[in-house]
């Protein structure tokens, strides 16, 4: 019998929890790094994460839980990072051993604010992980539906097909189907941008715009995504594939979308600070908006939706006025 790779997931949130659930369907043991010792003890005793998607049940005997990031880096061959982008550098700074012999997958949907880089680029440039040992796990997939074992689809991107196929085998199950892509950079940018467009969809809903406008907004968002990604990484890709359009749609429309929820609160008149305080989970799109806007100042892709969200979140502009202007810029 072929030896199973050792895998560790880094992160204690809903997406990390969902990934651990997928892996435990196929592996005898999965490493799981969480900072919260109380959460670790709770999972050992009760078999589910106390704070995030508690519907996901685990056999604690299949989990190697630890609050020591270096213990699990040393343990695993495959490292999957699912820490919110705003906090990932602080966690990576704790690692005191080389990563150049590890296979590193990012399930992080955003840019690392401190470096202004995609997560894969950060691992390559700052932590010396060879490009062919880096991969991306992206949607369209909501963690909450994984917990309920509803049929979900993932995209695994890597320059090395063998690595991608190994990850696919570990993730696939009766409720998970997975596709392989070679667009490592494009899928990462798409995962970041769709959260910004989901905030836009939420703002529109909060302002009282209906389904007709939402359809036009999403249609423009996928075209805007195509322009942005093409400027950053030109290659042959079909923007209508699930990793791009599918992930955008589920994030823009789903009741489980944190970014849509955050945008909805902004549209209803919440300040950024009050909306963040009320939400128990991180809205990745808030941080992504600043990073994406900065990148686009150099690339100059046509991005009216990104510009409107940035003006509302970071310049304190009126959501009502910015969306009134936006209605004349999209078609």
156-208 pLDDT per residue, tens: 999 999 999 999 999 999 999 999 999 999 999 999 999 999 999 999 999 99
244-298 pLDDT per residue, tens: 999 999 999 988 888 999 999 999 999 999 998 888 667 889 989 999 999 999 9
Where is pLDDT greater, at 281 or 54? Answer: 54
Kindly state whether residues 162 and 205 are assigned to the same domain.
no
The CATH number given to whatever domain includes residue 66 is 3.40.50.720
Q: Which residues are catalytic?
A: 194
Give residue 2's pLDDT band: very low, low, confident or very high (50, 70, 90). low
Give Cα separations from 92 to 48, 107, 253 (angstroms): 26, 14, 33
Kindly state whether residues 271 and 222 are assigned to the same domain.
yes
Paired with 106 in beta bridges are 81, 136
Residue 226 has pLDDT above 70, yes or no: yes
- C-alpha 320/C-alpha 322 separation (Å) is 6
Q: Does 331 map to a domain?
A: no
- C-alpha 294/C-alpha 274 separation (Å) is 25
Q: Does 198 map to a domain?
A: yes
Kindly state whether residues 242 and 150 are assigned to the same domain.
no
Which residues form the domain of 194? 186-326
83-139 pLDDT per residue, tens: 988 889 999 999 998 999 999 999 998 888 888 888 999 999 999 999 999 999 998
Give Cα separations from 298 to 130, 163, 291 (angstroms): 27, 34, 12
Averaged pLDDT score across all residues of the chain: 93
- Determine which helix (DSSP H) or strand (DSSP E) holds 138, and give its type and residue range: strand 134-138
Name every residue whose Cβ is closer than 8 Å to that of residue 114 and which is 6 or more positions away in sequence.
89
What's the domain count of the chain? 2
Kindly state whether residues 86 and 217 are assigned to the same domain.
no
Give residue 54's pLDDT band: very low, low, confident or very high (50, 70, 90). confident
Kindly state whether residues 222 and 145 are assigned to the same domain.
no
- At 40 the pLDDT is 94
303-328 pLDDT per residue, tens: 999 999 999 999 999 999 999 999 99
Helix (H, G, I), strand (E, B) or coil at 158: strand
- Which of 160, 182, 204 represents a domain boundary (last residue)? 182
Distance of CA 139 to the CA centre of its chain: 8
- At 276 the pLDDT is 87
- C-alpha 223/C-alpha 238 separation (Å) is 11
């Amino acid at each position: 019998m072929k030896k199973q790779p050792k895998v560790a997931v880094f992160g204690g949130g809903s997406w990390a929890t969902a990934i651990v659930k997928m892996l435990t369907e196929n592996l005898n043991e999965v490493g799981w790094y969480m900072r919260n010792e109380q959460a670790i003890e709770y999972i050992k005793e009760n078999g589910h994460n106390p704070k995030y998607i508690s519907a996901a049940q685990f056999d604690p005997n299949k989990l190697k839980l630890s609050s020591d990031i270096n213990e699990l880096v040393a343990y695993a061959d495959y490292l999957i990072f699912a820490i919110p982008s705003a906090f990932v550098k602080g966690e990576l700074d704790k690692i005191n051993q080389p990563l150049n012999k590890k296979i590193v997958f990012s399930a992080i949907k955003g840019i690392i604010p401190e470096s202004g880089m995609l997560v894969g680029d950060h691992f390559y440039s700052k932590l010396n992980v060879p490009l062919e040992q880096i991969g991306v796990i992206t949607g369209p997939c909501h963690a909450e539906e994984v917990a309920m074992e509803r049929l979900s689809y993932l995209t695994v991107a890597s320059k090395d097909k063998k690595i991608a196929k190994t990850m696919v085998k570990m993730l696939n199950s009766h409720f998970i189907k997975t596709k392989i892509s070679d667009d490592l950079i494009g899928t990462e940018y798409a995962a970041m941008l769709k959260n910004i467009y989901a905030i836009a969809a939420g703002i529109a809903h909060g302002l009282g715009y209906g389904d007709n406008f939402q359809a036009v907004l999403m249609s423009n968002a996928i075209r805007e995504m195509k322009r942005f990604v093409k400027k950053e990484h030109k290659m042959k890709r079909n923007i209508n594939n699930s990793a791009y359009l599918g992930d955008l749609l589920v994030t823009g429309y789903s009741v489980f979308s944190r970014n849509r929820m955050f945008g909805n609160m902004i549209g209803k008149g919440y300040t950024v600070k009050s909306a963040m305080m009320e939400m128990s989970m991180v809205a990745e799109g808030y941080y992504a908006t600043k990073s994406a806007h900065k990148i686009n100042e150099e690339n100059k892709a046509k991005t009216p939706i990104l510009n409107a969200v940035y003006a509302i979140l970071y310049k304190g502009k009126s959501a009502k006025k910015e969306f009134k202007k936006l209605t004349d810029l999209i078609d």
